[in-house]
Amino acid sequence: MADPSFDVVSKVDRQEVDNALNQAAKEASQRYDFKGTGAEIAWSGESIVLKASSEERCAALLDVFKEKLIKRQISLKTLEAGEPQQSGKDYRLTATVSEGISQDNAKKVAKVIRDEGPKGVQPQIQGDQLRVTAKKKDDLQAVIALLKGKDFDFALQFTNYR
């Protein structure tokens, strides 16, 4: 029988992001401080575009969107937002929601597991995720606790635990 294992991934529920975006758009259309500022938030391909008449309104709309993401249990570490850029008379801000663990980040996580985790635990990079195997399930649970205690600059989820 195969050894117990689990996967370390960085995934985002696209439907929840879409719901948060729709809530932020609705709030922008109804709030008094956004009236007459042309504040909009919408998908543009794979990225999210925020528009407003001033830099401050653009930043405020981003804060509203972040608030909606938090309420839906989506980590802000997955959101990469740029600075507001002037585009004609409006300001535009482009944000993306990143998924997957890059090779460099996977190597960082694997190094933490090898250095600080229990003996006999094997991290293995597989594309944009990391598979961790061990002889005992207790060791896997110790690794999960270790990774939850570390503060990485990207979001981690643990799936496929068996």
If asked whether residues 25 and 88 sit together in one domain, one would say: yes
> What are all long-range contacts of 118-122, with beta carbons under 8 Å and residues at least 24 apart?
118/142, 118/143
If asked whether residues 86 and 110 sit together in one domain, one would say: no
If asked whether residues 50 and 64 sit together in one domain, one would say: yes
pLDDT of residue 1: 56
pLDDT of residue 156: 87
Identify the H or E element spanning 71.
helix 55-71
Q: Which of 140, 160, 138 is nearest to 9 (CA)?
A: 160
If asked whether residues 93 and 154 sit together in one domain, one would say: no
Q: Which of 76, 97, 94 is nearest to 153 (CA)?
A: 76
Domain that holds residue 113: 5-11+101-159
pLDDT of residue 34: 87
If asked whether residues 73 and 135 sit together in one domain, one would say: no
What values do phi and psi take at 152, rounded to 5?
A: -90, 160
Domain end, chosen from 48, 70, 97, is at: 97
pLDDT in tens, the chain (162 residues): 578 888 889 898 999 999 999 999 999 999 898 888 889 999 998 899 999 998 899 999 999 999 999 999 999 999 999 888 888 889 999 999 988 888 998 999 999 999 998 888 999 999 888 999 999 889 889 999 999 998 888 888 888 888
If asked whether residues 26 and 92 sit together in one domain, one would say: yes
Q: What is the CATH number of the domain that holds 113?
A: 3.30.70.860
**Domain total for the chain?**
2
If asked whether residues 85 and 132 sit together in one domain, one would say: no
Residues contacting 159, CB < 8 A, separation 6+: 6, 7, 9, 11
If asked whether residues 91 and 110 sit together in one domain, one would say: no
Q: What is the CATH number of the domain that holds 69?
A: 3.30.70.990
If asked whether residues 105 and 84 sit together in one domain, one would say: no
